[in-house]
Amino acid sequence: MIFVHSKRFIVFLTSVAIYVGCLLILRFFPGTNVLFPAILSILVMPTALILTGAKYAPKPFNNFTTWFGVVFIGICILNAIGQDDKNLLISLLSFDVVFSSLVYNDTIRPYIFNEEQFTLIGYFIRVGLGMIYGAVIDLIKYVSISTKKHNVSKSL
């Protein structure tokens, strides 16, 4: 029950509510400018989900690699079913240099995109890169925690 009462989970639920509210406002009042809160909530949702899951999830799921994989699989599914037809969500969450260099490489681009749509290989690359970034963050977390424990035991 601690998971439901955590501040990170409340931030996640609030950002989901803001995003759904923005979609409803756009549906019933077209032309209303709610772009900034919608983009902000899209950025906050995966961050809050990852931080909440990393702290309160059971042991196999309390690492960043798993949660980055889950978030990027969700983004790829949204893109595949047509909810992200202009590839904004995938490109918004891909500030990484590796994915950008793969997309703009003329020899690799046809394997990732097919007539401006992602291919299955492109989805695997996107999820794989997300999991690699999560593994790097997990490695940094592990090294920093082991360094702290080593320094504490050394000072005693």
pLDDT by residue (tens digit) across 92-118? 655 667 877 887 888 888 888 887 778
- Residue-level pLDDT at 95: 63
Which of 14, 37, 57 is the C-terminal boundary of a domain?
57
What Cα–Cα distance (Å) separates residue 66 from each residue in 51, 71, 136, 137?
12, 9, 12, 11
Are 1 and 32 part of one and the same domain? yes
Torsion sign (Cα): 106, 108, 109, 114: positive
In-domain check, residue 80 = yes
In-domain check, residue 155 = no
Confidence category of residue 42, pLDDT binned at 50, 70, 90: low
Are 75 and 101 part of one and the same domain? yes
Are 17 and 94 part of one and the same domain? no
Per-residue pLDDT, averaged over 61-67, amounts to 77
Q: How many domains does the chain have?
A: 2
Beta strands in 80-140 (DSSP E): 113-114, 117-118
Tokens linked to 154: 């050394």
What integer best gives the mean pLDDT of the chain? 75
- Residue-level pLDDT at 58: 64
Residues 2-24: tens digit of each pLDDT: 656 677 777 777 777 877 777 77
- Residue-level pLDDT at 74: 79
Are 31 and 71 part of one and the same domain? no
- Residue-level pLDDT at 156: 56
Domain that holds residue 126: 63-150
Confidence category of residue 84, pLDDT binned at 50, 70, 90: confident
